[in-house]
Structure 1
């Protein structure tokens, strides 16, 4: 990232109860890994709709144009609830442990598709792969060292998540540092209630 770009993404902000549970689960999963693992930090927990990468700070494809395009996305309020989970790319050599959605996945997929369509005129390419809503809980740095992955699945299955109302989506900037990423809200876009 340079002074002329901002690293950005679009997502759904989550309430403190969800963020705290995600952080606890991430620590629990990390403890089951035989290799180094980075559990998610509570302050950065969110549900990503689209990662934008480095966006120019000015110009016709700049962050202001992105914000205007996102402001035109129409979606109704909905509720989501996390439940279960899994591993990316798989359970044999996992790099990421995630929580899935037990409710609200179709609405998240529809919203991600609307975001994709709205941002295409800004020069941001649509996703090549289907959107799979998930919440990252931990990143495993040395997946070949293994771990108690059945135990991790049990943790994910047994977790009881609160239902979360979704009344807005957020445009964040991500600031990278040796201590990890820090996210700043750039704009919030409310769902349509009428």
Structure 2
């Protein structure tokens, strides 16, 4: 194994994992095509997707970990609320929950991750960062679904607040049952 599929993000507590699971189960019957829910325990907020990353070398996982270890950030709080579709409601591919609180702190942390990894030759994201929690992927959007009812479910969901005390570097292992995320390294927030 000379590469790992990796990303940087924020872990979510069990209460959010359970809520994501319940929402995913409620969304599934509203989609006429296949809908793949995020597995319980795998829900997270992505700060940067790295993709296939060398295990060693100047832009390898160890160098990435060292660069991320230099980022200083204060603990903050997230509160999920609402949501929507990527790329949009006309032909949705991804159903996501948004943030009512903590979006600015996530943007700043994502920018710090980009800045820390740029000297390794890892390019910043091309699109503006939008903090979100992916709940499900719509595999056959052309078959349609009750998109307004999905949006109503997202709007009505009451998420527990999330204290963010660390950032995580994960390895994502793909299988026929979906992705499984393994923690490679955690980076705690600086004490205030």
TM-score interval, smaller chain: over 0.9
Confirm or deny that 1:174 pairs with 2:168. no
Distance 2:136 2:25 in 1: 8
CA distance in 1, matches of 2:104, 2:50: 21
The yes-or-no answer on 1:183 pairing with 2:150 is: no
From 3, 9, 12, the counterpart of 1:11: 9
Unaligned runs of 5+ in 1: none
Cα distance in 2 for partners of 1:52, 1:41 equals 21
Q: What is the rounded CA distance, in whole Å, between the counterparts of 2:81 and 2:121 in structure 1? A: 35
| Alpha-carbon distance in 1 for matches of 2:118, 2:178 | 29
Deviation of residue 96 (structure 1)? 0.6
3-state SS of 1:131 partner: coil
Q: Quote the Cα distance in structure 2 between the aligned partners of 1:144 and 1:176.
A: 25
SS at 1:22 equivalent: helix
Match of 1:33 in 2: 31
- Segments of structure 2 that go 5 or more residues without pairing to the other structure are none
Query: What is the CA-CA distance between 1:126 and the residue it aligns to?
Result: 0.3
State the alpha-carbon separation in 1 of the partners of residues 41 and 78 from structure 2: 20
Moved over 6 A (4+): none
How many residue pairs match? The answer is: 192
Alpha-carbon distance in structure 2 between the residues aligned to 1:124 and 1:31: 40
> Alignment partner of 1:129: what SS?
coil
Q: Name the structure 2 match of 1:77.
A: 75
1:141 and 2:139 equivalent? Answer: yes
Deviations 1:126-165 (A, max 9, x none): 0011000000111111111111111111110110001100
TM-score, normalised to structure 2, is 0.98
**Equivalents in 2 of 1:144, 1:12: separation in Å?**
32
Q: Supply the distance in 1 between the matched residues of 2:27 and 2:133 (Cα, whole angstroms).
A: 14
Q: Which residue of 2 aligns with 1:104?
A: 102
Distance 1:123 1:156 in 2: 38
CA deviations 1:80-120 (Å, max 9, x no partner) are 00000001111111111100001000000000000000011
Task: Determine if the alignment matches structure 1 residue 164 to structure 2 residue 176.
Answer: no
Classify the secondary structure of the residue corresponding to 2:41.
helix
Q: How many Å separate the matches in 1 of 2:23 and 2:5?
A: 27
TM-score (norm 1): 0.97
The alignment's C-alpha RMSD in Å is: 0.8
